[in-house]
Structure 1
């Protein structure tokens, strides 16, 4: 729209064209409300040399050619017009002054169309101008809204109505503008083609709540019943705001989880679900679900929803907590220690919620923590009693898991007090029980003969280990003298311990009762028995075997007639040969 403060271009063109050719100037389009009137401004020109005495004119409707018999709107010669225009048309201009302005009254929709003017100067000097004006009969005001209305930015909305009826002037008012702003009426304005409009402006700063608001304008004509209303809906653009989203979500491992994100924006936003920067799902929509089937602990974490359009963005997060039973605990720390050292063992697991962690040994609670994922067991200055199997147990309301681990305490040998020798008939058995870690070596020493027998000589010594205990048995047969002194010596890389094994039982008392003489007699008898046994064994070539666990006796050491491998030569004189037995 161009508003002119001086003469419109239309009239400037008329002035500049005088003294020329056939021509007419009128607005190409003009509007008026139904039931009102319209004044179609018109000027025409013809060659100056014609100099007619009287100038006549004719207005035609929808066709410029008389031979087509178009409806006559106005005719200055006869005043005969088409019935549709009877009493409705008259000429406002002075044809002698080349002004052909036409007034139409009581407009109805059928009068809308093209209007042509024909100049009649007499005789053959008649000319139908190709220029014409299109009349638009309207019944609603025109509300002009800017192409883009953005929330937070001031906007101007105008209401425009045609004001081309000199007999009736419209008055404008706004409908539904409460809360938007106060209107400003600019009044009657002239357009660039010589037509007139009535304009009212409304300035306001829209909000997102104004989107879709129905704004109206009313044109009323005083002293008539004519009222016309027009409406426009505001299309307010605004950035997204996330209005719907899950709060923190707890789910049991293996269950189905559905996260919802909904946003309000215009235009609709692009919704994106993300986790750790990775896009999981996106779509242009007002709401978007993210479905997680059979959730695992690995899906525990923070999920973000991003909503964006051309006018901005918004984002929110939701935390998904996957509840699950503890994982099998892991044990990191010392599992082998030397007696006296400090042992630190860390038991850890993973669960949600955090578990109760407990470390047991032989059903005794050694340490426990509540709602922690780690448990530290400190054993200052470990002893052999700390050696053994331990259990770390983790549990919460969703389940329980446990892990066993062994602590091996290494220490020097300890010969237990139950170690002893015992005599029965012609046999002496010496039992040496050693507690040690790692497994020790055991040797039996007979100081009176300067003989040492170790556990590797399995013909004479039987050993069996159970846990930290090593039991070694030395068996001696045919002893005819006083009970021998037997010393058990045990050693490993941490130390050595020796103990002279005490005798137990009635056989020990017998040696005290018979005295020296009885000892000589018993010695002679023992020699005879040994000789007999030796000859029998050589004849039968029988090899005796022993089994501690099965109850059989192990290989025995016969003294003094059986020689011990590795014994000193000075004891060979004591051996009794088979020739001496004859």
Structure 2
């Protein structure tokens, strides 16, 4: 149903206490048709202590200040008015009863503007109220169409015209409503205690075919030639429907392919070509081509066209099959695992037809599948021996591609038995060989001397890394006495190992 507050006409009030202060009440805005009349309702008040014998009043146009010499619309003392209002204005209210209602006849556009009332009680008791009423002289009915007209949802369209001329009453009729619905006339309604409108309603359920339909409303004044018409074109919103689409397409690598998608909707749809969730092309349009020049293996797959607007969506798919050799296999990256863990390695590719996939290490086949796009290798309880380079190979009748990847197994340090000390003349040299991942720290302890030498002391220790092996050499000079006991300790985040290094050979 129509909500009349969509045309607010607020009453202006200086004081809410009647009889205590200067105050005026009138609609802040009012409208009427060109050639008709308008009655501007007005009341005013003044302090109780003023007891004038006669109350006079003046209506001004577009300014409340007499010193600016604004056009006089009506003046009760002299009846002298501006030429624009001669024979067109009169007071309907009784100023003695504090009613300042004004009537304007034969309205024309230049009479549109602000109207101010000034109370004149004699002497210095004159007051021009800053509050005013704005007159809008119109020549078309107001057709109120909801912000959204959606296919399949009932809609209410209203025709509203001002009815503020007591001498001429408008009659409303609809134009071009055939097939839409029968109008319901609400009649004359009062708004916010001062202005009036005539309202007629039209209810119907629009279809997408009604989009663009021109609907009119006519306001006629009986026994006159005055007649006013207003029109509105229906903007019916409806969701997209895809009406054009390729069927499945087969192509050889390097050929040209053009895919078409077309849809009907309002507003126009956003058409999007997608593949595997990736947007390839999109535009707000009724149709959209996706051109693929010299198609490659990467363009094989299912393509989707999505048509959407704010009211819904539609989608269809087309499959493009491109015959091609396998892509370079992809694996789940360089794998890092801790000794004892289970490692799962996935190798995948795309080709048409599907390939033979093989994973091997050092020419030893570890896993293989035929006509599959994925191959998974499971290595339970990995050991340091599983550390190294692996290969995944994919092949079909169009070619072969391979990818290498590394498995890094991390474990606690292991001091190899080849570690030892040797004394020569006054020099002792100790070799500590450690296998570890990640690289460990190494320290040499001399318990009898309560000394610990680590690898950062380059004057005594030299270290060299080769693969998983770290070799640290401790050199002690000036050892005239019996060789000391030497303990090698190696540690990383997974553990610590110590070994007392045996002496080999004899001091010369």
TM over 0.5: yes
Per-residue CA shift, 1:158-181, capped at 9, x if unaligned?
111111001111111122222222
Report the alpha carbon displacement of residue 430 of structure 1 after superposing the two structures with TM: 78
Report the alpha carbon displacement of residue 279 of structure 1 after superposing the two structures with TM: 3.9
Report the alpha carbon displacement of residue 284 of structure 1 after superposing the two structures with TM: 3.7
Return the TM-score normalized by structure 1. Answer: 0.53
Contact 1:2 1:191 in 2 (8 A): no
Contact 1:14 1:43 in 2 (8 A): no
Q: Helix, strand or coil for the counterpart of 1:67? A: helix
Change in 2 beyond 3 A, CA 1:397/1:218: farther
Alignment match, 2:328: 328
Report the alpha carbon displacement of residue 360 of structure 1 after superposing the two structures with TM: 36
Contact 1:26 1:193 in 2 (8 A): no
Contact 1:334 1:343 in 2 (8 A): no
Query: 5+ residue gaps in structure 1?
Result: 505-581
Change in 2 beyond 3 A, CA 1:185/1:489: closer
Report the alpha carbon displacement of residue 54 of structure 1 after superposing the two structures with TM: 1.3
CA distance in 1, matches of 2:457, 2:34: 134
Report the alpha carbon displacement of residue 432 of structure 1 after superposing the two structures with TM: 72
| Bigger share in strand | 2
Contact 2:9 2:27 in 1 (8 A): no
Return the TM-score normalized by structure 2. Answer: 0.60
CA distance in 2, matches of 1:447, 1:263: 87
Contact 2:15 2:22 in 1 (8 A): no
Report the alpha carbon displacement of residue 23 of structure 1 after superposing the two structures with TM: 1.1
CA distance in 2, matches of 1:412, 1:170: 99
Report the alpha carbon displacement of residue 135 of structure 1 after superposing the two structures with TM: 0.6
CA distance in 2, matches of 1:254, 1:295: 5
Q: Which moved more, 1:336-345 or 1:83-92?
A: 336-345
Q: Helix, strand or coil for the counterpart of 2:326? A: coil
Change in 2 beyond 3 A, CA 1:2/1:44: farther
Report the alpha carbon displacement of residue 303 of structure 1 after superposing the two structures with TM: 2.8
Q: Which moved more, 1:347-356 or 1:459-468?
A: 459-468
Q: Which moved more, 1:418-427 or 1:296-305?
A: 418-427
Q: Which moved more, 1:263-272 or 1:369-378?
A: 369-378
Q: Which moved more, 1:339-348 or 1:152-161?
A: 339-348
Q: Which moved more, 1:402-411 or 1:11-20?
A: 402-411
Change in 2 beyond 3 A, CA 1:429/1:174: closer
Report the alpha carbon displacement of residue 347 of structure 1 after superposing the two structures with TM: 27
CA distance in 2, matches of 1:74, 1:459: 114
Contact 1:245 1:260 in 2 (8 A): yes
Change in 2 beyond 3 A, CA 1:475/1:12: closer
Report the alpha carbon displacement of residue 138 of structure 1 after superposing the two structures with TM: 0.6
Report the alpha carbon displacement of residue 242 of structure 1 after superposing the two structures with TM: 1.0
CA distance in 2, matches of 1:269, 1:66: 60
Report the alpha carbon displacement of residue 139 of structure 1 after superposing the two structures with TM: 0.8
Change in 2 beyond 3 A, CA 1:256/1:121: same
Change in 2 beyond 3 A, CA 1:300/1:67: closer
Alignment match, 1:67: 67
Per-residue CA shift, 1:401-455, capped at 9, x if unaligned?
9999999999999999999999999999999999999999999999999999999
Alignment match, 2:97: 97
Alignment match, 1:487: 487
Q: Helix, strand or coil for the counterpart of 2:470? A: strand
Alignment match, 1:378: 378
Change in 2 beyond 3 A, CA 1:312/1:127: same
| Bigger share in helix | 1
Change in 2 beyond 3 A, CA 1:94/1:273: same
Q: Helix, strand or coil for the counterpart of 2:14? A: helix
Report the alpha carbon displacement of residue 362 of structure 1 after superposing the two structures with TM: 42
Contact 1:176 1:215 in 2 (8 A): yes
Change in 2 beyond 3 A, CA 1:194/1:465: closer
Q: Which structure is larger by alpha-carbon Rg, 1 or 2?
A: 1
Change in 2 beyond 3 A, CA 1:332/1:198: closer
Contact 1:347 1:376 in 2 (8 A): yes
Paired positions, count: 505
Change in 2 beyond 3 A, CA 1:41/1:248: same
Alignment match, 1:498: 498
Alignment match, 2:464: 464
Report the alpha carbon displacement of residue 184 of structure 1 after superposing the two structures with TM: 1.2
Contact 1:334 1:345 in 2 (8 A): no
Report the alpha carbon displacement of residue 317 of structure 1 after superposing the two structures with TM: 2.4
Q: Which moved more, 1:7-16 or 1:104-113?
A: 7-16
Q: Tell me the C-alpha RMSD between the 2 structures.
A: 18.7
Report the alpha carbon displacement of residue 150 of structure 1 after superposing the two structures with TM: 2.2
Q: Which moved more, 1:241-250 or 1:400-409?
A: 400-409
Alignment match, 2:170: 170
Query: 5+ residue gaps in structure 2?
Result: none
Change in 2 beyond 3 A, CA 1:349/1:128: closer
Report the alpha carbon displacement of residue 95 of structure 1 after superposing the two structures with TM: 0.8
Q: Helix, strand or coil for the counterpart of 1:306? A: strand
